[in-house]
A and B are shown apart, each in its own frame.
Chain A
Amino acid sequence: MKLKGTEIFLKVLEEEKVDIIFGYPGGAVLDLYDQLYQSNLRHILVRHEQGAVHAADGYARATGKVGVCLVTSGPGATNTVTGIATANMDSIPLVVFTGQVPTGLIGNDAFQECDITGITRPCTKHNFLVRNIEELASTIKEAFHIARSGRPGPVLVDLPKNVMAAQYDYDPANVKIRNQEAVYKPAPKKMANVLDMLNAAKKPLIMTGGGVILGKASDELTLLARKYEIPVTGTLMGLGSFPGTDPLWLGMLGMHGTYYANMAVSHCDFMLAVGVRFDDRVTGSIETFASNAKIVHIDIDPSSINKNVTIDLPIIGDTKATLKDILRFLEEHHYIQDADSRAEWLRELAEWREKVPLSYCQNDEVIKPQYVIEKLQKLTKGDVLITTDVGQHQMWTAQFFNFDRPNTFVSSGGLGTMGFGLPAAIGVKCAFPDRQVVAIAGDGSIQMNIQELATAAQYNIAVKVVLLNNEFLGMPRQWQEMFYNKRYSHTDMTYAPDFVKLAEAFGVIGLRATKPAEVETVLEQGLAADKPVLMDFRISREECVYPMVHPGGSINQMTLGSREMIN
């Protein structure tokens, strides 16, 4: 049966089990938008294309499925770039469809034409320009396959207007795609090496990352750590891959990692690093990072191995399959940890934890951001999906909220994209309408995609924004305080809208707390509402995130903040 390109598009999306797309119409995709009337596909109209990509990204991170966007050509396409680069850095599976001018006009500088495949080549896993109707179905199928297979990532598909209007005899049975599935072959020799290294280790440590969440390997990792009493630290992207309330959890490592996690890294003699890429914010100085340890690195992407840190034993493979193999091998070879040395190591860690716990000073006058986050955890009993923007509030969330389950912490780690949190929360809430979804934001970040409050209001997507408002671009201000003699060049954000009134103008509930005593009430009220809410918490203006490793410094050299923090 002859079908139009737009019909084939929707059929293939249906076959790929896409239930929701985030998008924004425009000239080049009007045929597609018209065809949406004939489909059951849910479409969420965002207010800016960047918001569409972040929403699809949030959806993907929370569900593990591929997030999908649809935007028009030219500026619609270029507006997606930040979102795509965000997903690319964190290996999030997305398929982004962009409209394109008719093939005959490509290269003519036509109205709203841009070479979006050229622009996004370095920030996608792969991209396609569909040149004719014959390759439409297979290209879309391949895009989904590429996005979700191996190390996942965003794929862009550029759809010229005339291709979508053309007709073609579509038969799903005839659609062939290339198979890029990475094959993981268990290597018994490597398993034996892991066993030897564990046997020799007195101070073992697991470092868990985003690859454990993407690889759905949290259960295996948790079992391994608990069974053999191996303490666990994690990267920002790894939060939730091991229960944050487990005594073996040391918290995040790195620039704003806990004192005890960073000390554990510096003192461990064996490190099992799973699904991490040793980002500079995590390692600090490479020379001194885990310098006493033999490092085993499990990752699906060979290019991650030895990229930053020299690895003693690389294991290339899917995190879940590899951890299963390790568990089986240790079991079969009756590995038992040496009780004395393990007790000694755990005691050492407990001492560090006691010496410098995560802490802050709450008084009756000024709200401390950490207090808001702790209250949020208490009131929700941790049963909440959290997104963040980027900056101080993101680090406080990582430090003070204990994530017990994977896919519950949604944050831009690699690219560090301000304005990510609100649209991402919209995507998460669309996937889990019955769960509490909270976007923790800063007053700088929220203004970068605040227009998405209209999206939330239009569809009554009841996300709750916890705005930690210090009237500063807090993280750059902290650096200016520490490294630039408190010369706060252009980080003062005192000139800002009245966020409560702004929320109300968007049709969203606006609440405010200015005193510590109001925090709990505002949170309760906000969380109870069945509408989107923005809660404006006026927090201590110059609170810093501690501990802090200076950029490029060793991670055991931390600024710990004020005296009362250490007690």
Chain B
Amino acid sequence: MEKKDHIISILVHNKPDVLARVAGTLGGKGYNIDSLCVNTTTQNDISKIVMTTSGSQTTITRIENQLQRLVDVISVDDLTNVESIHREMVLVRLNLTAENSEAVKNAVDTNKWKVIVSGDTYVIIEITGDKRQVDFSLARLEPLGITDITRTGLVALTLED
């Protein structure tokens, strides 16, 4: 069966070890987590984990079922085929030198990137978008001399309940 990327949204009780349980369930059964994002919801005692993984529909159904067995898991939803918004964020630090500062400035203006902070020798840029957009921006930044990045996992939200 065809392997596909899937976005799984998991509501969990905000209990100790809950992330370890979710991650361990996947790892222990041989499934890979490609990206991960976790935080509390509007209710402090409930957290949402959004993760991306890939596999055939059978594999994804197995993952959902295995997660559903966990006592602290409230619900598991595959958002892949549901109308939903997807965002990732990446912070990029560039080295500023006499040679590249003009090029960096131009690229920032052209691409409407958000500069968070800059100094004499560095600039940190924030980019938010779906996976494709973030990949695209990173490709453009690459020749300008990236020194480090931190990229979040994907977050997703359905248009309707």
Given contacts A121-B17, A121-B20, A129-B16, is CB(A303)–CB(B65) below 8 Å? Answer: yes
Q: Are A306 and B58 within 8 A (Cβ)?
A: yes
Roughly how many angstroms separate A125 CA and B73 CA in the complex, as a whole number? 13
Binary flags per residue of B1-43, CB closer than 8 Å to A gives 1, else 0 = 0000000000001001100110011001000000000000000
Least Cβ–Cβ distance between B130 and chain A, in angstroms: 31
Least Cβ–Cβ distance between B1 and chain A, in angstroms: 12
> How many chain A residues touch the partner (CB < 8 A)?
18
Q: Chain A residue with minimal CB distance to B63?
A: A303
Q: Are A121 and B61 within 8 A (Cβ)?
A: no
Q: Are A302 and B68 within 8 A (Cβ)?
A: yes
**Residues of chain B lying within 8 A (CB to CB) of residue A305:** 65
Q: Say whether B112 faces chain A, with CB atoms less than 8 Å apart.
A: no
**Residues of chain A lying within 8 A (CB to CB) of residue B24:** 121-122
Q: Say whether A301 faces chain B, with CB atoms less than 8 Å apart.
A: yes
Q: Say whether B69 faces chain A, with CB atoms less than 8 Å apart.
A: yes
Contact of B69 among A117, A121, A178, A303 (CB under 8 A): A303
Q: Chain B residue with minimal CB distance to A151?
A: B69
Q: Are B61 and A306 within 8 A (Cβ)?
A: yes
Q: Say whether A146 faces chain B, with CB atoms less than 8 Å apart.
A: yes
Roughly how many angstroms separate A301 CA and B66 CA in the complex, as a whole number? 10
Binary flags per residue of B100-127, CB closer than 8 Å to A gives 1, else 0 = 0000000000000000000000000000
> How many chain B residues touch the partner (CB < 8 A)?
18
Q: Are B65 and A302 within 8 A (Cβ)?
A: yes
Q: Say whether B159 faces chain A, with CB atoms less than 8 Å apart.
A: no
Q: Are B17 and A117 within 8 A (Cβ)?
A: yes
**Residues of chain A lying within 8 A (CB to CB) of residue B86:** none
Binary flags per residue of B55-91, CB closer than 8 Å to A gives 1, else 0 = 0001001100110111110000000000000000000
Q: Are B20 and A118 within 8 A (Cβ)?
A: yes
Q: Are B71 and A303 within 8 A (Cβ)?
A: no
Roughly how many angstroms separate A200 CA and B105 CA in the complex, as a whole number? 75
Roughly how many angstroms separate A468 CA and B155 CA in the complex, as a whole number? 60
**Residues of chain A lying within 8 A (CB to CB) of residue B28:** 122
Least Cβ–Cβ distance between B28 and chain A, in angstroms: 5
Q: Chain A residue with minimal CB distance to B21?
A: A121
Roughly how many angstroms separate A125 CA and B68 CA in the complex, as a whole number? 12
Least Cβ–Cβ distance between B11 and chain A, in angstroms: 14
Max chain B C-beta neighbours (<10 A), residue from A118, A126, A180: A126
Q: Say whether A347 faces chain B, with CB atoms less than 8 Å apart.
A: no
Given contacts A121-B21, A306-B58, is CB(A126)–CB(B65) below 8 Å? Answer: no
- Listed from nearest, the 10 A-B pairs whose CB atoms lie closest are A303-B65, A126-B71, A122-B28, A302-B65, A303-B66, A121-B24, A303-B69, A146-B71, A122-B24, A121-B21
Q: Could you pull out 19 A-B pairs where Cβ atoms are within 8 angstroms?
A: A117-B17, A118-B17, A121-B21, A122-B25, A122-B28, A125-B71, A126-B70, A126-B71, A126-B72, A129-B16, A131-B16, A146-B71, A303-B65, A303-B66, A303-B68, A305-B65, A306-B58, A306-B61, A307-B62
Which residues of B approach A to under 8 Å, CB–CB?
Answer: 13, 16-17, 20-21, 24-25, 28, 58, 61-62, 65-66, 68-72
Which residues of A approach B to under 8 Å, CB–CB?
Answer: 117-118, 121-122, 125-126, 129, 131, 146, 151, 178, 180, 301-303, 305-307
Known pairs A121-B20, A126-B70, A126-B71 / 12 extra A-B pairs, C-beta < 8 Å: A121-B17, A121-B24, A126-B72, A129-B16, A180-B71, A301-B69, A302-B65, A303-B62, A303-B65, A303-B66, A303-B68, A307-B62
